Structure 1
Amino acid sequence: MNPLHRRPARPHGLATRLLLGQSIVLLAGAVTITLVATLLGPPIFHRHLLEAGHSENSPEVFHIEMAYRDASFLALGLGLLISVTAAAAVTWFFTRRLRKPLADLTHAARELSRGHYATRVPAIDSGTELETLAAAFNHMAAQLEGIEDTRRRMLADLAHELRTPITTLAAYHDGLHDGITHLGPHSQIALAEQTDRLARLAEDIDEVSTAEEGRLSLAIDHMPVTDVLWNAAEGIRERYRDKGVNLVVQPDGAAGLNVMADQQRIGQVMTNLLTNALRHTPSGGTVTVSAERHGDEVDITVKDNGDGISSQHLPHLFERFYRADTARTRWQSGSGIGLTISKAIIDAHHGTIRAETPGPGHGAIFTITLPLGLPFAVTPPLDRRQHPAEH
């Protein structure tokens, strides 16, 4: 049984426990004071009476000591009564202030456990600790709600991605079975394309799971930052030329810098960013790749003047299977995992990746931040220096 659904045991409620705890403290204090007053007080008081000139068995000494005992016990009794009353008042005050916030937290946790991820704890005015707890709970609920939304969207996207190849394969299967379609070159090409599409989708899902679980294998080595820029640009330049998009490399800020990185994985990230930039930059547009040092880190930037990104999509770009018409996540048949894998790769290199945009129609900037390795003198090959920066 879920403990959140159990009815609270009234005899052991918060007020009872607080009052019991304070009563134990008061009782311990009262017993201690009584023992001290009973065992140590009278002898000390008697000795001072004798030193003051009173005789040992005089009636005055007897009455004075009786008055001392009566006054001590009366003071102890009144003090204990006032202390118990004060403890009960303090317990009532604090439990009254704590009961509603704790009830709200319990109710929210119960609703969250039932799958109601939109549940939030209302504003709490009962101390910094409870406010911090409520804020942490609301943040957790928001994260869970986002994960649930992503899960629903992922299932919808997977269903959409699977529907077309499965429908095509089923149609050909029925046609071949009924003799309507014959297995010719055209049919073989169509079947192969749909089968490859399913295989690619399965590989995408496996790759993003491997990346997010931190099981990426990295071959770390010193890598000049200029090589990161040039290798990425040269590997995709032909596609840019075919679409008529200018690809500009600005290596000046990367001169003499290197990073500890896996060349293949960093190349995968750069290819993904450049592919996304090409997809969302119209013919005649420009994509710029550059680098700049900031302390012990280097920023590698891919900037374009294309479609841009809506502010509502920007926080979700690196979520797996997140897709939107203006979001930069459609690659590899639109599975929406390119940026998720890229983030996992950069995280594995102890770096960060972020996206910025002035808004739709004003382009976008993706920035990779990596820790620098040892200085490494790099001079671009002669043919690169002679190559025009813009194509």
Structure 2
Amino acid sequence: MSRNKEFFIFMSIQFILMCLVTIVCLIVNVRLGLFVLGMQVLMWIAFFMYHRWRYIQIAKLSETLRRVSLGHYELEIRDNQEGELSILKSELYKVTLRLKEANELLEQETQYLADAMSDISHQLKTPLTSMRMMNELLADPNLDEQTRLMFISQNKTQLDRLQWLVSSLLKFAKLDTKTADFKQEILSVKTLIQHAIEPLMIPLEIKEQQFIVQGDECKIVGDFHWTVEALTNIFKNAIEHTPVCGTIQVNIQKNPIYTEITIKDNGEGIDKEDLPYLFKRFYRGKNANRDSVGIGLAMAKSIINEQNGDILVESILGVGTTFKLKFYKLIV
């Protein structure tokens, strides 16, 4: 308080005025002068104590801000009383909560980025290591032609896998940074399903699986290419985990709130322990294929969520799995 220049000047002026008033009153009447002097001293003391209390409260707020600046957010400074300082305390408490939430979100994003970089490095390292080893073997002049062709074929397979992985990661980057261009088009659900299953017809025929689509024609609002990408990833997962001569059934239905696409298979099912992590990026469950990367279903969920939709999964081990895609209708 002594370092406050304005307060010091104010108190000095008040003291001078008090002395002048007291002198005048003493000249007029001694008793009156003494009474006025006593009252002014009491008022001066009360004024001083009040401002001292305010400075103590402000000092506490300053200490609170200092602790917040150091990253200590476990503070309880709410005040239910009225007054300017109480309002300031309340606002400071709100700002502290916002800073705490922002800091926690930043820590989560930093950890997520570190985990993602680690997963990406691991996924890229596997095909690159395999290709390097095969290139070293191909450099052997004594290698027979049949083995050489086999290594070249394996190299091509790894290159295709690497290209698909990089392409998928680029798509994920667009989804994460909210730079993906989602068009708002009226889409036929059956047309979407037809385009989504088309690139999977060969593995479907090799495994002699039945792909059945039921339900009336429905329309949804979304982006054609991104929605086909999501459906293809889900269909691919169903084909891989459904046995030879198995059945994949797609049912379409709608109600006033949303349009639902149900994808049901009679495959091996998903373990209960894996279900909570099924849509986590790079997660590989107990029944995952050897070449599985673990990003197809995660990408499908991100795409559907970006288009005002949701995806749920139900599964019984040894019985089959059901994916339910809900595209909510836009309410104007």
Mapped partners of 2:139, 2:240: distance in 1: 40
Q: Could you give the per-residue CA deviations for residues 22-77 of structure 1, whole angstroms, max 9, x where no partner exists? A: x759949x96xx79xx8xxx9xxxxxxxxxxxxxxxxxxx549x93x775665454
Which residue does 2:128 correspond to in 1? 166
Mapped partners of 1:363, 1:235: distance in 2: 22
Tell me by how many angstroms 1:132 deviates.
Answer: 4.6
Residues 225/162 of structure 1: CA separation in 2 closer, same or farther (3 Å cut): closer
Which residue does 2:185 correspond to in 1? 221
Which residue does 1:270 correspond to in 2? 231
Q: Which runs of structure 2 are paired with 1:202-221 in the superposition (5 Å)?
A: 202-218=166-182, 220-221=184-185
- Contact preservation (8 Å) 2:282, 2:294: yes
Q: Secondary structure at the match of 1:307?
A: coil
Which residue does 1:10 correspond to in 2? none
What one-letter code is carried by the residue in structure 1 that aligns with 2:187?
Answer: M
Which range moved further: 273-282 or 239-248? 239-248
Percent identical residues: 16
Mapped partners of 1:95, 1:358: distance in 2: 60
Asked if residue 88 in structure 1 is aligned to residue 49 in structure 2, the reply is no
Which residue does 1:190 correspond to in 2? 154
TM-score between both structures, scaled by the size of structure 1: 0.58
Tell me by how many angstroms 1:324 deviates.
Answer: 3.4
Residues 373/162 of structure 1: CA separation in 2 closer, same or farther (3 Å cut): same
Q: Could you give the per-residue CA deviations for residues 121-178 of structure 1, whole angstroms, max 9, x where no partner exists? A: 44x3222656555554454444344334433433333333333332333223323334
Q: How many residues get paired?
A: 308
Residues 250/84 of structure 1: CA separation in 2 closer, same or farther (3 Å cut): farther
Which residue does 2:222 correspond to in 1? 261
- Contact preservation (8 Å) 2:230, 2:303: yes
TM-score between both structures, scaled by the size of structure 2: 0.66
Q: Secondary structure at the match of 2:283?
A: coil
Q: Could you give the per-residue CA deviations for residues 106-132 of structure 1, whole angstroms, max 9, x where no partner exists? A: 3337xxxxxxxxxxx44x322265655
Asked if residue 353 in structure 1 is aligned to residue 310 in structure 2, the reply is yes
- Contact preservation (8 Å) 2:220, 2:327: no
Mapped partners of 1:332, 1:268: distance in 2: 22
Structure 2 residue aligned with 1:125, among 76, 87, 102? Answer: 76
Mapped partners of 1:238, 1:25: distance in 2: 89
Mapped partners of 1:352, 1:331: distance in 2: 28
- Contact preservation (8 Å) 1:308, 1:364: no
Residues 311/292 of structure 1: CA separation in 2 closer, same or farther (3 Å cut): farther
Q: Secondary structure at the match of 1:181?
A: coil
Which residue does 1:199 correspond to in 2? 163
Structure 1 residue aligned with 2:117, among 155, 175, 198? Answer: 155
Mapped partners of 1:77, 1:225: distance in 2: 87
Which residue does 2:83 correspond to in 1? none
Which residue does 2:86 correspond to in 1? none
What one-letter code is carried by the residue in structure 2 that aligns with 1:92?
Answer: I
Cα RMSD (Å): 4.9
- Contact preservation (8 Å) 1:258, 1:373: no
Q: Secondary structure at the match of 1:271?
A: helix
Mapped partners of 1:291, 1:84: distance in 2: 76
Q: Secondary structure at the match of 2:76?
A: coil
- Contact preservation (8 Å) 1:245, 1:287: no
Which residue does 2:68 correspond to in 1? 105
Structure 2 residue aligned with 1:337, among 267, 285, 295? Answer: 295
Tell me by how many angstroms 1:272 deviates.
Answer: 1.8
Mapped partners of 1:272, 1:332: distance in 2: 17
Which residue does 1:113 correspond to in 2? none
Q: Secondary structure at the match of 2:254?
A: strand
Which residue does 2:143 correspond to in 1? 181
- Contact preservation (8 Å) 1:331, 1:338: no
Which sections of structure 1, spanning at least 5 residues, go unmatched?
1-15, 43-61, 110-120, 375-391
Mapped partners of 1:25, 1:294: distance in 2: 72
Mapped partners of 2:228, 2:8: distance in 1: 67
